[in-house]
Structure 1
Amino acid sequence: FALVQLAVDGLLVALAYVLAYRLRFDGAVPLRYEDLRDATLIPLVAGALVVFALFGLYGKSWRHLTGSDYVQVGYAAAVATLVLPAFNAVFQPVVLDLAIGSTVVGVPTSIIVLHGLLSLLLVGGVRFAVRRFYERPPRGFHARRGARSVLIVGAGDGGRLVLREILRNPGLGLRPVGFVDDDPRKRRNRVEGVRVLGTTDDLARILDEAEPDEVTIAIPSAPGVLRARVVRACRERGIPVRTLPTVFELLQTQGQLVRQAREVRVEDVLGREPVRMELDRVGAYLTGEVVLVTGAGGSIGSELSRQIARVGPRRLILLDHAEDNLFAIQSELADDRHVHPALLAAVLADCKEEERMREIFAEHHPTVVFHAAAYKHVGLMEANPVEAVRNNAIATRVVARVAGDASAKAFVLVSTDKAVAPATVMGASKALAEFAIEAEQARFPATRFNAVRFGNVLGSSGSVVPIFRRQIARGGPVTVTDARMTRYFMTIPESVQLIIRSGALGQGGEIFVLEMGEPVAIMDLARAMIELSGLVPDEDVAIEVTGRRPGEKLHEDLFNAYERPLATQADKIQQAGRATLDPRSVDAMFDEIGLLVLEGDAAALARKVSELSTLHRSVQEPAEVSRGVRARERTV
């Protein structure tokens, strides 16, 4: 398109030059100035185009110009205007012979000024007209019948992007009714033809007057206080609220911008920037592999399946023992995400059944295994300790051993911070699972076994967030077991990124931990969620402290006392360095536990898993870990 732009600019500069003469002499141009105009026209146009090119006016499409580009147009037009007198002074193209001698015909100052102004007007104007043409159709915006009215909070760049997308796409079925912005200079002004109706302090009045069908918060970085104020006013009137995603979320999705607007989420106010990884880069090792995801229908397993499908595995095996969940993720990948059915295999099976696992490995030959199948509800596991250990510990050992026998390249266990100094059966069962893969690493060195440990996952089934949402929806009370309690939190995408990244880290036998920032007070989280619902804590919704449940800790840890945080090659991921376990000790422990599970002796099983802390050699680090720590200390 640069050649077209050059041709248009050349014509406009020539037109500006001709018009300058006609305006200066009111149409009757003297003969000597006609000669001067004709002699200087082509050199002037050529010189102006060179100047424009040097100022970078041909580096982008005119429909995408910004304010800084128009400033460059102004500078270029000013400099290009000087080409005319410079050329005339050097080359003297027109010389007038007089009785007293010859004289050079100079360019009148008024011609230079008029040419400069007209060039700026025409060259800048055509760019502005093209941009406006693409941003808003010339015939104006006509929302389709039945379009929903939208009030946009934020008249900055984000708000303009939302508005332009609505104006360009009437098929979205949206009709903008106005902006709300806290900048007093924008009050009563129009942005892209839509009026700024007031500030967020006026939001109640604006909502009553404009009566929008929905409100979009177009400030991705808006603080939680502003979001809570908007949500509160809208919820009182039954108006749904959506918020514009961050730039990262937009880059990770495809489709139109307005369609990406999402509901306000509690992670907006958690106070920590999410860890971001480039999936195509960190998951490149999965391309062309046969990947098995156990627990594929669960919160973590389903997101793992979605993300893995994006990096091009040769085949994706979805395994779950719940047919509804398995059918849901298989249908989503095939129908909604257009994964070819030949690349998917949905397997209904139970990880505890070793013979069935061997059948699956023999049929599908998975090369990478992500083991996300587990029970995680602490209260239920306390009431059903035998099943907790059978499913979380023994099943993990079964799948890991089968993967080793099948010479899989990698096996990744999804673990939890509750496996650190476990105080519940659920935590102990996951600690046993970590021990199991460490022992299998010694038994099958050709397979790289790793575990991934992280805190509470926001929005996963059974987590505190959906529980709080249900309690708030029914009017409270929101129950907190202890006002001092804190927890580490992460989002489902964060956890899945960590799991995928860890599959390519280390040499095997490692436990990886995400750097999760500071723990979040559960009481603060409860208050924030109530405010996000447009309600006032302790007034609209009560918060009730119920007392800690058996085994529940005030604060979770990410590392055991006998573990040491070690840096890894991956940003924001640490390794839990600890002494290497004797596989025979792990086997002996599992033999005893397996017998108690078969007998269904819950009391004896609880006593046995309480001995987990004695399984590790408590203090001495392995030689290779110590060398790594000393090497890093020398580097520092």
Structure 2
Amino acid sequence: MQFGFKLENLGYLPRWMVLFFDVVILFLAGFTTYFFFKGLKLIYIKNELLLVSSMIYFVVNVFFFWVFRTYSGIIRHSSYVDALKIFFAQFFSFAFLLVINYSCIFLFDKKFFLTTGLIINGCLSFSFLFLYRVVVKQSFERYFHNTNTNKLTNALIFGSDANAIALANALKVELPRRFKVTGFIDISDQNTTKRLLDLPIFHYEQNIATLFNDTETEALIIADKNLSKEERSQIVEDCLEYDFKVYTIPLVADLEGQNEISKTIKNFEILDLLERKPIVLDTKAISGQLKGKRVMVTGAAGSIGSEIVRQILSFEPKKIIVVDQAETPLHHLSLEILNVNPNVRIVNVISDIRIKDTIEQVFIKYKPEVVYHAAAYKHVPLMEENPAQAVFTNVMGTKNIADLSYQYGVERFVMVSTDKAVNPSNVMGASKRIAEKYVQSLDYKLKLQNDNARTKYITTRFGNVLGSNGSVVPLFSKQIQEGGPLTITHPEIIRYFMTIPEACQLVLEAGIMGNGGEIFIFDMGEPVKIIDLAKKMIRLAGYIPDKDIKIKIIGLRPGEKLYEELLNDSSKNLATHHEKIMIAEENYHHFDEVNKSIDELIEIAKFKTNHSIVSKMKKIVPEYKSLNSEYQALDV
């Protein structure tokens, strides 16, 4: 067993000890002043009054130490605030002693202190107290700097605003230290002649490698939140090209305290690179639709459903009925949101949307006024092998929820669909397209009946969601952690991506925009080549693609497309007041016809073969052209 004292294990001094050291410093300042004037043959304090004068001196100073709490700061983390406290404490001590001095002259024709001596003593006291704190602070910083020299990463901070300055200050005092800041980078060239925290400010030009080499820097921390997506992407690309590390932090204003800043530095992730500008929501309109309402979310434990629940909480509904058949994920969600908004009652319901009698009891008991239907099977390969389950959940489950919504007076029914429903090439996409048809035809039927109290049926359609269950991003992350390889189905495969919060924000927005019968499609931005995504994720993790981490092409899965679409070939898209939401104009179908076909499909799914199920699906959705060789012969 080894024994030894380590300075980094030293705790913070208690306040009484800091006060004790401050009093000792006061004694030194008073002692110095006394002998300074004695050397000048001047009397600072008369000998017969030395004891009384000293007591007054210490009592007054300690009193103002207490008033300004000069001893409450942590010495090793002293700042200009502590300096100001010491200054005011010494200023008011001097002023108070001066008042006492002249009062005694006026009343007793004698004084305790030489007035000039009080001025000199005040200056010395402030200087000694301030210098003591500076020495302790610098000693700690120098000690940790020296002990971690070999471990520190030289880093440039991209940005020169308050966010960047706060970050640099936080990195100086974090324990243990990880970074040594070598300078700041600014897009503007107006600040290059200035310095921040005694560090240079560099102008960002197209290639960042020169700056890194000149400053012997290994990493970049992006703290400038005003960068556009294109600028951020270019910066990250430059860093990755030369194998420099990239980090990012949230806005300092979003943090609860400054001591959190350095802790929030994280590796730059693919989600940060693909993020778009924040969506501007019509929060007033959404609140008007949801405030005080009973809202039900199906598939609430899934990645989309759970985010919808989180976002709905901020709009003050009366009650949220979270419905899912998965017990453990629902339990985790319930624990997470339990105390988020105490004004909203959360009801957790384990139920299967495929069993109409069971789910009907939920409608009877809780009387939802708005329904967000996110429950679905969505894994393409699994649904190719199990088409009956796609029918039961995606088609029959949707039909159950849609029918019950009208039967029990739900105001709005918002269905979450997928771009795979457009010109479907697989069972999953076809099942979602059939569900879309049913929802649209039901709304069309109710419109024809002029039912003013009718439920408004709205469908939202978008592509892949980053970070959702089944998304390539968590899959690639897991494969990178395991050392690879990253598995890609085809080198040319392309997908549209959207973050989970962004997708759910647009679902809420579209839900209040719709008058019923619309299929809203979302602006998914630019498509992303999956192999490029994989390479970027490998490089962001600090590895070299195809050298440290291999990429393996495994071939397209049954039913999988190279490209996903958001509109049928025959469809048009209409703009809305929201720049990221459009309406897909689909042909309406007669409800009785669609309903009859779906009932037949459900019966086939109960008793017939996979080929019989897929064959019927193709009759309901003529544009369904399977890319699964097993079902291609069934094309109608």
TM-score normalized with structure 1 length: 0.65
Q: Which residue of 2 aligns with 1:243?
A: 248
Q: Which residue of 1 aligns with 2:377?
A: 375
Deviation at 1:287, TM superposition (A): 1.6
1:283 lines up with 2:294 in the alignment: no
Counterparts of 1:291 and 1:203, CA distance in 2: 58
SS at match of 1:553: coil
SS at match of 2:560: coil
- 1:153 equivalent among 143, 156, 176: 156
Q: Which residue of 1 aligns with 2:323?
A: 319
Q: Which residue of 1 aligns with 2:492?
A: 484
- 1:526 equivalent among 529, 534, 558: 534
Greater Cα shift, 222-231 or 362-371: 222-231
Counterparts of 1:423 and 1:449, CA distance in 2: 26
Q: Which residue of 1 aligns with 2:456?
A: 448
Deviation at 1:470, TM superposition (A): 2.1
Deviation at 1:517, TM superposition (A): 2.9
Greater Cα shift, 374-383 or 186-195: 186-195
**Structure 1 outlier segments of 4+, above 4 Å:** 136-152, 165-176, 180-190, 193-200, 203-207, 228-235, 259-263
- 2:298 equivalent among 287, 294, 298: 294
- 1:224 equivalent among 219, 233, 248: 233
Q: How does 1:64-83 map to 2 (within 5 A)?
A: none
Counterpart code for 1:594: I
Counterpart code for 1:517: G
1:308 lines up with 2:312 in the alignment: yes
* Residues 138 and 566 of structure 1: CA distance in aligned 2, closer, same or farther (over 3 Å): farther
Counterpart code for 2:249: L
Counterpart code for 1:521: K
Counterpart code for 2:440: E
SS at match of 1:611: helix
Counterparts of 2:393 and 2:144, CA distance in 1: 52
Counterparts of 2:216 and 2:171, CA distance in 1: 29
* Residues 531 and 165 of structure 1: CA distance in aligned 2, closer, same or farther (over 3 Å): closer
Q: Which residue of 2 aligns with 1:399?
A: 401
Partners of 2:316 and 2:343 within 8 A in 1? no
Counterparts of 1:138 and 1:353, CA distance in 2: 73
- Cα offsets for 1:124-146 (capped at 9, x unmatched): xxxxxxxxx9xx99997978999
- Cα offsets for 1:568-611 (capped at 9, x unmatched): 22222110112211001111111111101221532210111122
Counterparts of 1:150 and 1:406, CA distance in 2: 62
Counterparts of 1:146 and 1:287, CA distance in 2: 53
Counterparts of 2:182 and 2:282, CA distance in 1: 36
1:590 lines up with 2:591 in the alignment: no
* Residues 502 and 137 of structure 1: CA distance in aligned 2, closer, same or farther (over 3 Å): farther
* Residues 260 and 277 of structure 1: CA distance in aligned 2, closer, same or farther (over 3 Å): farther
Deviation at 1:152, TM superposition (A): 5.1
1:343 lines up with 2:345 in the alignment: yes
Counterparts of 2:217 and 2:399, CA distance in 1: 61
- Number of equivalences: 465
Counterparts of 1:145 and 1:593, CA distance in 2: 75
* Gap regions ≥5 residues in structure 1: 1-62, 64-132, 208-213, 617-636
Partners of 1:275 and 1:572 within 8 A in 2? no
* Residues 233 and 173 of structure 1: CA distance in aligned 2, closer, same or farther (over 3 Å): farther
Counterpart code for 2:156: V
Partners of 1:585 and 1:615 within 8 A in 2? no
Counterpart code for 2:316: G
Q: Which residue of 1 aligns with 2:580?
A: 572
Counterpart code for 1:520: V
Q: What is the alpha-carbon root mean square deviation over aligned residues?
A: 3.8
Counterparts of 1:283 and 1:151, CA distance in 2: 47
TM-score normalized with structure 2 length: 0.65
Q: How does 1:20-169 map to 2 (within 5 A)?
A: 153-154=156-157, 156-158=159-161, 160-164=162-166, 167=169
Counterpart code for 1:317: I
Partners of 1:180 and 1:200 within 8 A in 2? no
Counterpart code for 1:330: S
- 1:495 equivalent among 503, 511, 515: 503
Counterparts of 2:214 and 2:460, CA distance in 1: 45
* Residues 189 and 536 of structure 1: CA distance in aligned 2, closer, same or farther (over 3 Å): farther
- 2:478 equivalent among 445, 460, 470: 470
* Residues 328 and 195 of structure 1: CA distance in aligned 2, closer, same or farther (over 3 Å): farther
Deviation at 1:360, TM superposition (A): 0.8
Q: Which residue of 2 aligns with 1:6?
A: none
Deviation at 1:396, TM superposition (A): 0.7
Counterparts of 2:255 and 2:181, CA distance in 1: 27
Counterparts of 2:267 and 2:363, CA distance in 1: 41
SS at match of 2:301: coil
Q: Which residue of 2 aligns with 1:385?
A: 387
Deviation at 1:231, TM superposition (A): 6.9
Counterparts of 2:510 and 2:308, CA distance in 1: 13
Counterparts of 1:150 and 1:205, CA distance in 2: 10
* Gap regions ≥5 residues in structure 2: 1-79, 81-129, 203-208, 625-636
Greater Cα shift, 318-327 or 520-529: 520-529
* Residues 387 and 155 of structure 1: CA distance in aligned 2, closer, same or farther (over 3 Å): closer
* Residues 518 and 153 of structure 1: CA distance in aligned 2, closer, same or farther (over 3 Å): same
SS at match of 2:413: strand
* Residues 383 and 440 of structure 1: CA distance in aligned 2, closer, same or farther (over 3 Å): same
Partners of 1:477 and 1:544 within 8 A in 2? yes
Identity %: 34
Partners of 2:300 and 2:322 within 8 A in 1? yes
- Cα offsets for 1:37-60 (capped at 9, x unmatched): xxxxxxxxxxxxxxxxxxxxxxxx
- 2:420 equivalent among 414, 418, 424: 418
Partners of 1:397 and 1:437 within 8 A in 2? yes
1:191 lines up with 2:196 in the alignment: yes
SS at match of 2:297: strand
Q: How does 1:586-625 map to 2 (within 5 A)?
A: 586-599=594-607, 601-614=609-622
* Residues 364 and 568 of structure 1: CA distance in aligned 2, closer, same or farther (over 3 Å): same
Partners of 1:228 and 1:534 within 8 A in 2? no
Q: Which residue of 2 aligns with 1:77?
A: none
Deviation at 1:480, TM superposition (A): 2.1
Counterpart code for 1:535: Y
